[in-house]
Amino acid sequence: MNVESFVKERIAWLGHASFRISGAKSTVYIDPWKLKSSVPADIVCITHSHYDHLSVEDVEKIRKASTVIVGPEDCRSDFGGSFKPIAPGKTIAVGDVTIEAVPAYNTDKNFHPKANNWVGYVITVDGVRIYHTGDSDVIPEMEHVTADVLLIPVGGTYTMTVAQAAQAADKIQPKTAVPMHCGDIVGTLQDRQAFAAATKVPVVVLDPTA
């Protein structure tokens, strides 16, 4: 399966910054929020503690006894022993899935300070490296990321604008990119097409799904 097919068949954009990745053995969620369905999760990755990324209510919808929840220390909530803390530069293996934490922060605004140690993730599922940037601007650390799939915010205000996201994608050079963090709270769904037109990287525009 090529990367574009993997994105279309295995990655569901659940709106905003929320995704479900359906691996052969593991179902991985990133920042589940406003979920309309409750496909059980093997792994839940939380990028940071803002309410639209850390939603305990939504995690509980998909959580089972064996679900592992990964996130920065301030996302621990009341998840108990299911929670595995992670920090920028650290890597955790859960079953057949590898989770690498990449710094995520703002450079020209104060919504996501670097000092908070919030993260994006490179998650390797079935050999495909998927980089969810988290709520970030274009940062130097992105130059060191190797990814097949880039999940990148384009809505501006709290994260990158379309133009900045295109700059980041061109720097990272994934095999394909998927725009996110638009159409809810900030940005519009039209930002997806604007991003596709602005970057040299192949883009798959996903529609929000249940």
pLDDT score, position 210: 55
Torsion, CA 23, CA 25, CA 29, CA 30, rounded to 10: -70
pLDDT score, position 145: 96
**Residue 186, Cβ neighbours under 10 Å: how many?**
17
Q: How many domains does the chain have?
A: 1
pLDDT score, position 183: 74
In a domain, 39, yes or no: yes
In a domain, 204, yes or no: no
In a domain, 166, yes or no: yes
The whole domain housing 122 covers: 3-198
In a domain, 209, yes or no: no
In a domain, 108, yes or no: yes
Successive 10-residue mean pLDDT values, the chain, 210 residues? 90 94 96 93 96 94 97 93 96 96 93 92 97 95 95 88 94 96 80 92 88
In a domain, 63, yes or no: yes
Helix extents (H) in the chain: 3-10, 56-62, 162-172, 190-198
In a domain, 76, yes or no: yes
- Label each residue of 103-154 as H, E or C: ECCCCCCCCCCHHHCCEEEEEEECCEEEEECCCCCCCHHHHHCCCCEEEEEC
**Can you read off the two tokens belonging to residue 61?**
């919808």
CATH number, position 53: 3.60.15.10
In a domain, 72, yes or no: yes
